[in-house]
Amino acid sequence: MEGIESKLSTVKILRIGDVKDISSQISQSYTINTLKEQLLNSINKKCNKFLDEKLSIYNIGREEITTTSKQIDNSELLSLSQVYNIQKEWLDRIKGSDEIEYQIVLNSTIIAGTCVGFTGNEAVKDMVFDYVIIDEAAKATTPELLISIIKAKKTILVGDHNQLPPFINNDKYTDLDAETMKNLKRGLFCSLYDILPDTHKQILSTQYRMHPNIGKLISNVFYDGKISNGSSEEEKCHNLDMYKGYSIVWLDTSKCKKDLKIKLKVDHIKIT
């Protein structure tokens, strides 16, 4: 969600999942606990504002109406005292209610989470969504994808089966035959890509992330030269004097000692 929240300021966004797996920036604004607290605070403020406006007519504060409610003769003040007690009791009740979480989910325009994370939220796991968009779908295992797909009227899978495949731990599937294991490693995304008609697929044909030389290399090796470059060499210039004029540098570390390899790796990270 990082990077899109500022562009969707008017959209009701909810991020579900384990809080420890969510960035602090997102957690402070979009988790169900945060939204629940914001909603309860908003309700509380509106209730208090209504009561304060009514009590100001009699020059009485909320503290006074709670301590003198038994001695109030004025029927309207007595009603306000009862309203205050009802509001307080209602707020205390909904704080521990699952229903308010369910309502937050129902009123959200976008619900973000991981494929597996959806199963951990009681308010979400039995819902059906108009659209489910799954990013990095080619890296997801078949069970992970199915968890989300079965919740959708329509599904949009975003991924690239020419990149990293699903991770399958061979040790956990020793009883499976070779063909089944092959299909597991291949993944559902790749299978769907092969069997669906062209009307159900859209390929992004322009890349903007890499230097054109790197983009051309990737395009020729993995995509039959079908990926074009959307950025110029000047836009992707690294400005490193020691590698000036080079967009790709191969470093041979085969004869380096282990500690030097670590240093080279760190330097590479700094460069990138």
H or E stretch covering 40: helix 32-55
Output the pTM of the full model.
Answer: 0.71
Closest by CA to 172, choosing from 185, 154, 161, is 185
How far apart CA 15 and CA 2 sit, in angstroms, is 11
User: In terms of C-beta density within 10 A (0-12 exposed, 13-18 middle, 19 or more buried), how is residue 166 classed?
Assistant: buried
Going 99 to 2 to 19 to 92, the CA torsion angle's sign is: negative
Walk along the chain (272 residues) and give the pLDDT tens digit of each residue.
656 666 666 788 888 877 777 887 787 888 888 888 888 899 889 888 888 887 787 777 777 666 555 455 567 777 877 888 888 888 888 887 778 888 888 888 888 888 887 777 777 877 889 999 999 999 999 888 998 898 899 999 999 988 888 888 777 777 888 888 888 888 899 999 999 999 999 988 999 999 999 999 999 999 999 999 999 998 998 888 888 888 888 888 777 766 654 555 555 555 55
The β-bridge partners of 132 are: 155
The two tokens of residue 107 are 């009123």
Helices 98-106/32-55 angle, 10° precision = 100
In the block, residue with structure tokens 């709670």 = 66
CA angle (142 as vertex; 101, 173 as ends), nearest 5: 115
Amino acid at 262: I
Domain positions in the chain are: 5-122, 133-271
DSSP 8-state symbol, 31: B
